[in-house]
Chain A
Amino acid sequence: MKKNKHWLWGILLLLTFSLLLAACSEDEGTTDEPAKTEEPTDGTSTEGAEEAVPQVLVFGRGGDSVSLDPAIVTDGESFKVTENIYETLLNFGEQDTTINPGLAKEWEVSEDGLTYTFHLQEGVKFHDGTDFNAEAVVKNIERWKGGAEEQYYYFHSMFKAEGEDVIASVEAADEYTVVFTLSRPQAPFLKNIAMSPFAIASPTAFEAAGDKFGDNPVGTGPFRFVEWKRNDSITVEKNEEYWQEGLPKLDTIIFRAIPDNSARLNALVTGEIDLADGINPSDAATIEGNAELQLIERPSMNIGYLGLTNTRPPFDNKLVRQAVNYAVDKQALVDAFFQGRAEVAVNPMPSTISGYNEEITGYEYNPEKAKELLAEAGYDGSEIELWAMPVPRPYMPDGQKVAEAIQKNLADVGIPSKIVTFEWATYLEKAKNGEADAFLLGWTGDNGDADNFIYTLLDKDTIGSNNYSYYSNDEVHKLLIAAQSEIDEEKRNELYKQAQEIIFEDAPWVPLAHSTPLLAGKKGVANYLPHPTGSESLINVSME
């Protein structure tokens, strides 16, 4: 019996520590690894040691890309990578949506706004050796124009108006001059041209690769494609023949998909990644408290809102919609669920966008006023459904909690509500069909133009796509259509300001917040400037 007891001890020890033992033996293997990378940075910070920092950046993000052919995709995770492989004729500013030279060094616009002439950079080559010139640009535009709408989706959505191509023709005037002729003036034309989907790809490569081009991307960008392990990582390396002297600074960028936000932060803390996208506002304090990390803010260009389906009772009554606007305490939402890292929204677009109406001050938090309006509207106190987003988005980090707070606000003024939620694709589909009473949703701008917010989200034309609230006002529609082809900036802004006034009065939504999306990086990541559109070139980034 005694002998047995000894045996028991041995087995117990073996079992309980078997995992630890397995892990312990790694000890020598891994502990020297972080030490190795840290030594040059904090051990010796002389000039000699600086060279030793490997110029490799691992960018951790929430999902994988769909394809690396920017012309055919619509998801931000694809553009994050293609922005570095390809270039556009024009670039956005580093952290705004002003227009800057890109592959086109200069451009001219005719008086009537119908002819755009671009003068291209000379001596630029695609990664496969093909020359970049006017003919290459023409071939790209022809590829998009000639393709089916559902394939070159962004091209058709940005350059088509009332079923007609905005770009009537594109010609190569000489080797380095391209002339675009429009069928009608388009105010945000240059901004559209600067968007990631309109990057210029190597004609030789896309002609040869056909449908497979997205797996073998070839552009003129600072980085060339190396490898893609799906759902795992995408690797790009420095383009040694890049046309801008001394750029890029990094040798390699690896984009890694880490779907869980907490796990991504863990990977950053251990140094497996250098930069992490999609940081929860609630983790911001942890990052700021860590001496080895930096918190990075992406400039805000989004809106999170509570949509009120304008065709469903009780929200078919303007007074009820206004009442809800008074009932919701927006500042409290921003403080509690965005950790203050957001601006309370007043209009359907952020104030940085040209055409924003500053005279509108918004609906203040005033439950009494809300009750009065509800009484005036003759609201019968029937229960509404309040839809909560099932996924976190930069414009809405925690839909469930925001919905709970709004539910309380609504109950305070006598509107009973039930919170419901669906799987994300179902949620969007049902909301688009107008099945929701009130729903949380949001939008991140593509090009920093007012049209991309107000028309896209609230025009009667976009009911069935992005106008989830079924808001329809003919006067607003007239103003927005006029603004699309008005090329005088001041007159155009005036049109948007008028539209915002009507929208304010009609109250199709409760605008909630313009959030500041957060990222985090190792201290050594230098010159990383996140772009408000959500994707940026990492050409200037270096590791120190």
Chain B
Amino acid sequence: MLRYIGKRILQLIPVLLGMTFVVFLIIRAIPGDPAQVILGQQATEESIKALREKLGLDQPWYIQYFDYLKGLLTGDLGESLRTRQPISTEIWPYLAATIELAIFAMILAVIIGMNAGIISAWFQNSWFDYIAMVIALIGVSMPIFWLGLMEQWAFSIELHWLPTSGREEVRNPVEAITHFYLIDTLIQGRLDQFWIAVKHLILPGVALATIPMAIIARMTRSSMLEVLRSDYIRTARAKGQKMSKVIYKHALKNALIPIITIIGLQTGLLLGGAILTETIFSWPGIGRYIYEAIGYRDYTVIQSGILIVAFMFVMINLFVDLLYSVIDSRIKYN
């Protein structure tokens, strides 16, 4: 098992290396000059040139690339061209904000999506099945932007239940320690603030959960349908076992592999940051951080930001692969 993990991690190196190379080339291929953007519309030719030199942008691209790789090897993610802060320290609050929101959204998506899929499969072709699957279809194709604004309108403006945006009540700010506000508030014993943080998570969480929820529901349904047709389930049902027992003890376990795969992929996607959700709900996450960096041509932030996101993505997939052997003991890694 450990050898397998070690091998997989070694395999990640060329993947991540290739990714940095592709990202590096693409962002330099697009027009636009970081020095120009940083200095603004008024900049003169000379000052742009001087800044390019200072930022090392006048070097040939391959030298820039090797410099960047050299930095990475020593654990240096580089410095933001715009704010001139080291990315390794700057990125953490954004990352924490995104992880907190993504986990919240995934919990929502998994609980609701899986159960909806299970019920749909059990009562295949019932009206519940039809309605659930139509909702899932709408969910997959829902424009997040519109959904987000509708949520704000309904739950914030009309009903006054939830705040429209942000992570905290700014008049009563959370003291950031880990930058996971749910954890920080608990550490400080501020249950009132914990509750406020939860309320801020709900609208963006629901918006973010919609698509994964729908995908998980559809995947669970089709995977369960397959399993429910097998002989041992028929036997279990014929024995008169309770529905919940048949589902959760016998069927689900065997239907779980494709569902887990989808959950892993979706979690990875959410951790990449959801630019639209983060924009509408002004959530200071990693997606907007990278997106804004693109607008400013902040090359190092784009490179290192994407590198970290990609790293998390592959790690989650590795974790999912390892989960397979836990769920199904027939799968062994040697």
Residues of chain A touching chain B, judged by Cβ–Cβ distance below 8 Å, are 4, 7-8, 11-12, 15, 18-19, 22-24, 26-27, 29-31, 33-34, 54, 56, 58, 63, 66-67, 74-75, 148-150, 153-154, 156-157, 211, 214-215, 227, 229-233, 235, 254, 256-260, 262-263, 266-267, 269-270, 272, 422-426, 428-430, 432, 443, 456, 464-466
B317 at the interface (CB under 8 A from A): no
- Which of the candidate stretches B68-76, B150-158, B222-230 sits at the interface with the other chain? B150-158
Which of B54, B112, B157, B159 has a CB less than 8 Å from the CB of A148? B54
Give the Cβ gap from B178 to chain A, nearest Cβ, in Å.
14
How distant is the Cα of A275 from the Cα of B289 in the complex, in angstroms? Answer: 24
Which of A4, A67, A215, A263 has a CB less than 8 Å from the CB of B165? A263
**In the complex the two chains form, is B171's CB within 8 Å of A23's CB?**
no
Evaluate whether A157 and B42 lie within 8 angstroms (CB atoms) in the complex, with A30-B199, A266-B157 already known: yes
Given the complex, which residues of A lie within 8 Å of B155, measured CB to CB? 23
Evaluate whether A254 and B202 lie within 8 angstroms (CB atoms) in the complex, with A8-B128, A31-B160, A260-B279 already known: no
Which of B32, B47, B164, B206 has a CB less than 8 Å from the CB of A156? B47
**In the complex the two chains form, is B83's CB within 8 Å of A66's CB?**
yes
**In the complex the two chains form, is A15's CB within 8 Å of B41's CB?**
no
Proximity string of chain B (43-65) to chain A, C-beta cutoff 8 Å, 1 when within and 0 when not: 11111101100100000000000
How distant is the Cα of A533 from the Cα of B132 in the complex, in angstroms? Answer: 54
Given the complex, which residues of B lie within 8 Å of A4, measured CB to CB? 123, 243
Given the complex, which residues of A lie within 8 Å of B45, measured CB to CB? 464-465
Evaluate whether A12 and B128 lie within 8 angstroms (CB atoms) in the complex, with A148-B54, A266-B149, A464-B45 already known: yes
**In the complex the two chains form, is B41's CB within 8 Å of A425's CB?**
no
Given the complex, which residues of B lie within 8 Å of A26, measured CB to CB? 161-162, 199, 202
**In the complex the two chains form, is B161's CB within 8 Å of A150's CB?**
no
B195 at the interface (CB under 8 A from A): yes
Given the complex, which residues of A lie within 8 Å of B47, measured CB to CB? 149-150, 153, 156-157
B88 at the interface (CB under 8 A from A): no
Given the complex, which residues of B lie within 8 Å of A63, measured CB to CB? 292
How distant is the Cα of A257 from the Cα of B296 in the complex, in angstroms? Answer: 17
Give the Cβ gap from A103 to chain B, nearest Cβ, in Å.
25
**In the complex the two chains form, is B284's CB within 8 Å of A23's CB?**
no
Give the Cβ gap from A3 to chain B, nearest Cβ, in Å.
10
B126 at the interface (CB under 8 A from A): yes
Which of B54, B149, B202, B295 has a CB less than 8 Å from the CB of A423? B295
B33 at the interface (CB under 8 A from A): yes
How distant is the Cα of A219 from the Cα of B13 in the complex, in angstroms? Answer: 48
B90 at the interface (CB under 8 A from A): yes
**In the complex the two chains form, is B90's CB within 8 Å of A232's CB?**
no
How distant is the Cα of A191 from the Cα of B148 in the complex, in angstroms? Answer: 45
Instruction: Name the prevailing secondary structure of the B interface residues.
Output: helix
B6 at the interface (CB under 8 A from A): no
**In the complex the two chains form, is A466's CB within 8 Å of B42's CB?**
yes
Which of B31, B90, B281 has a CB less than 8 Å from the CB of A429? B31
Give the Cβ gap from B203 to chain A, nearest Cβ, in Å.
9
Proximity string of chain B (156-179) to chain A, C-beta cutoff 8 Å, 1 when within and 0 when not: 110111111111011101001000
**In the complex the two chains form, is A150's CB within 8 Å of B54's CB?**
yes
Residue of B whose beta carbon sits closest to that of A56:
B171
Residue of B whose beta carbon sits closest to that of A156:
B47
B115 at the interface (CB under 8 A from A): yes
How distant is the Cα of A235 from the Cα of B169 in the complex, in angstroms? Answer: 13
Question: What are the 9 A-B residue pairs with the smallest beta carbon separation, nearest first?
Answer: A150-B51, A74-B40, A425-B32, A231-B284, A232-B284, A258-B282, A150-B50, A266-B152, A266-B164
How distant is the Cα of A310 from the Cα of B129 in the complex, in angstroms? Answer: 65
Give the Cβ gap from B6 to chain A, nearest Cβ, in Å.
37
Residue of B whose beta carbon sits closest to that of A235:
B173
Evaluate whether A254 and B171 lie within 8 angstroms (CB atoms) in the complex, with A231-B288, A270-B157 already known: yes
**In the complex the two chains form, is A266's CB within 8 Å of B153's CB?**
yes
Given the complex, which residues of B lie within 8 Å of A266, measured CB to CB? 149, 152-153, 156-157, 164-165
**In the complex the two chains form, is A425's CB within 8 Å of B295's CB?**
yes
**In the complex the two chains form, is A11's CB within 8 Å of B171's CB?**
no
Which of A22, A211, A256, A263 has a CB less than 8 Å from the CB of B280? A263
Give the Cβ gap from B164 to chain A, nearest Cβ, in Å.
5
**In the complex the two chains form, is B93's CB within 8 Å of A465's CB?**
no
**In the complex the two chains form, is A230's CB within 8 Å of B40's CB?**
no
**Can you give 23 A-B contacts (C-beta < 8 A)?**
A4-B123, A8-B128, A29-B199, A31-B161, A54-B171, A58-B171, A67-B83, A150-B35, A150-B50, A153-B43, A157-B42, A157-B47, A230-B284, A233-B173, A263-B149, A263-B165, A270-B164, A272-B163, A272-B170, A424-B295, A425-B32, A456-B42, A466-B42
